[in-house]
Amino acid sequence: MSDKDRAILGDGLSMLSQCRRQTGDIWQAHYGAAAIAGYFFIKANHLPGKVEEAVAAENQRMIAKYLQTGTVTRESVSVGSAESRILAALDDTIDGLHWVGHNVIYAAISLAALHELGGGLRHEAADIAELISSFAKTIPGRSWIGYSAAEVKRLTLDEFDGISEITDGDQLSAFILNELASYSVIYRAEAHHDLMGHMLTYSHALNILYDLGYHDYFHRGLPGLLKIVKVLRASRQLDPAEPIRIVSPVDRLPLVEAPRSACLPHQPEYWAGIDGDVIDWDFGHLFKFPFSFYHHWNRVSEAPAKAMENFRYIIHPVQTIIS
């Protein structure tokens, strides 16, 4: 990747670092994480030239909309120093589930960018660490099927869950793809298709930490991820004839099945059918979900085809293949 391409990583880190100062909350950091994800989605996959161009173009449009330029003193910082600061912040929250894992997602993707760049900016590392620290004492998430946020927080795993020990990133990728493949129906809801997408990104973030050598953080983060897995598993047995309990400020009954995307993000037709600005880049998921799914897919030698099929229901759908 060229220096021009790598500049996207610096922009992504800037967007992550600006989030709390601009908005006072944690959510606009989605776009910074998405910018970094778009860069690595291109780098990590052997994509057709048209796909690379389309992803890069959409990424630049998103950055142009959300990056705030300024004149802050640009004091550089080493990877090690920035990494220590971010990991110290993550240390306070990684043992629990906070906002479906965004504390881990933001931390891991920031570290990936810093390693790729060979360093960063001191004030941005401090701001990203503050962003991650702000997840302390936050809820597991806001949208759930069959559970309240308080019940998810109290949820524990036991032998009846049938989850074998996961010791490394390869095992986690295989496990997550098998989980994704197990669903016969996926609903278009924050509590369902979107939660499955975050199952992909949360687990991918743990794999990034594992691959960087932070095995302790990987293992400490697994219980939070597996809570999401357990909650989603309960949705496999939904009976449309029975009352469905949904706790969410945005999802409504009756649940509607997610539309199937006719094409996939590694195909030019997918991006030909996308106008990122119109859909607000699916809140950054336009880049984040493909980056994470293909990470898992490429990591497993015999991935279940059903996982790829079900992924079509998680991404922003493109219904018509454009020739």
Q: Does the residue 36 lie in any domain? A: yes
Q: Does the residue 75 lie in any domain? A: yes
The confidence score (pLDDT) of residue 71 equals 58
For residue 92, how many C-alpha atoms fall within 13 Å in the half-sphere facing its CB?
Answer: 14
Q: In whole angstroms, what is the distance from residue 153 CA to residue 96 CA?
A: 8
Q: Does the residue 250 lie in any domain? A: no
Q: Which of 2, 5, 220 is nearest to 103 (CA)?
A: 220
How many residues belong to the chain? 323
CB atoms within 10 A of CB 286: 26
The confidence score (pLDDT) of residue 320 equals 58
Q: Does the residue 173 lie in any domain? A: no
Q: Does the residue 283 lie in any domain? A: no
The confidence score (pLDDT) of residue 5 equals 82
Q: Is the dihedral of CA 69, 75, 77, 81 positive or negative?
A: negative
Domain count, the chain: 1
Q: In whole angstroms, what is the distance from residue 264 CA to residue 272 CA?
A: 11
Cis peptide before 254 (omega within 30 of 0): yes
Backbone φ and ψ for 79, nearest 5 degrees, come out as -55, -45
Q: Does the residue 128 lie in any domain? A: yes
Q: Does the residue 323 lie in any domain? A: no
The confidence score (pLDDT) of residue 20 equals 85
Cis peptide before 240 (omega within 30 of 0): no
Q: In whole angstroms, what is the distance from residue 182 CA to residue 176 CA?
A: 10
Q: In whole angstroms, what is the distance from residue 1 CA to residue 173 CA?
A: 26
Q: Does the residue 224 lie in any domain? A: no
The confidence score (pLDDT) of residue 318 equals 84
The confidence score (pLDDT) of residue 159 equals 79
Residue numbers in the chain where pLDDT is lower than 50: 321-323
The predicted model scores a pTM of 0.96
The confidence score (pLDDT) of residue 322 equals 44
Residue range of the domain that includes 79: 3-133
Are the C-beta atoms of residues 103 and 144 closer than 8 Å to each other?
no
